[in-house]
Amino acid sequence: MRKAVLFNIQKFSVHDGPGIRTTIFFKGCPLACQWCHNPESQSYQAEILIDRDRCTQCGECEKHCSQQAVWQKNHQLFYDAEKCNACEMCIDYCCNNAREIAGKEYTVQDVMQEIHKDKPFYEQSGGGVTLSGGEVMIQIDFIEELVKACKEQGITVAIDTCGYAPSDNFLRIIKYVDVFLYDIKLMDSGEHEHYTGRDNALILENLKLLSNHDAVIQLRLPLIEGINTKNEQIQDIIDFIADLNIHSINLLPYHHMGQGKYKKLNCPLPVLERPTDLRLEEIRSMFKQANYKVQIGG
């Protein structure tokens, strides 16, 4: 029985495709974007998140950790994620609710049970299921079984992807997917590698592949001030997609809502800024002038 590690199932989502949706977040991503607002999605393994403001250093977590993955020294709490086997004992014995787990194994049947609970909302709103992450296209065996099950039940499927996955993975599921929410970050390969840890050759190749197979593509552009908001960077994207089958474009301005997660993972906080409303409107106008359906957000 196939299993996948998820870190969230979000109900009543209205930003990840049409209508009211259930968004399934898969753990693990080949990119490490500096602006990632789900840092707990990057590792493929379950992780413990620690709210250090809630922790009173009572020592119960250290006492009950069989892997010696948590300890205190000089009134400081230390945690070694590599030793942790996510047994959740430290969570069970934390009297201050300072710990939570990101990552739990599900079968396809488990996920379909959650999806069926929301099916009446899909029928009323024209919604469905969105598979997000992390990067869903890496866990393709599980994904293929899941999207087939959704299609058999008449449930529409959106795939939210960074595009960095084997091309054959896309070909395996393309006929079962109603819309691809496809991220483009930067066109310059060197800049893309600097900010995400990978170059963009495979991402652009897969975007062309989906277009050539007449997939419905909703392009999503995360926009971070000083990184990818210059006119020439936007124009490079417009030029690249000129001959592609792009249904619509969403401009996604950077936000700071994920910073609390960085603290809980004890990771350095990204020091990044949102583009101004004026700059976002200027970028929107560039796409509108190129005859694209475009909106800010969504």
Indicate where the chain has its CATH 3.30.70.20 domain(s).
Answer: 47-102
C-beta of residue 100 within 8 angstroms of C-beta of residue 91:
yes
Q: What is the pTM of this model?
A: 0.92
Q: Has domain 3-43+104-296 been given CATH number 3.40.50.920?
A: no
Distance, in Å, from the CA atom of 277 to the CA atom of 271, rounded to the nearest integer, reads 19
Beta carbons within 8 Å of 254's beta carbon, 6+ residues apart: 35, 222, 223, 224, 225, 272, 273, 274, 275
* pLDDT, tens digit only, all 298 positions of the chain: 789 999 999 998 888 888 999 999 999 999 999 999 999 999 998 899 999 889 888 888 989 999 998 888 887 888 888 888 889 899 999 998 999 999 999 999 999 999 999 999 898 899 999 999 999 999 999 999 999 999 999 999 999 999 999 999 999 999 999 999 999 999 999 999 999 999 999 999 999 999 999 999 999 999 999 999 999 999 999 999 999 999 999 999 999 888 889 888 888 888 999 999 999 999 999 999 999 999 999 8
47-102: CATH topology: Alpha-Beta Plaits (3.30.70)
Domain span(s) for CATH 3.20.20.70 in the chain: 3-43+104-296
Query: DSSP characters for 113-158?
Result: HHHHHTHHHHHHHT-EEEEESS-GGGSHHHHHHHHHHHHHTT-EEE
Task: Report, in angstroms and rounded to the nearest whole number, the Rg of the chain calculated over CA atoms.
Answer: 20
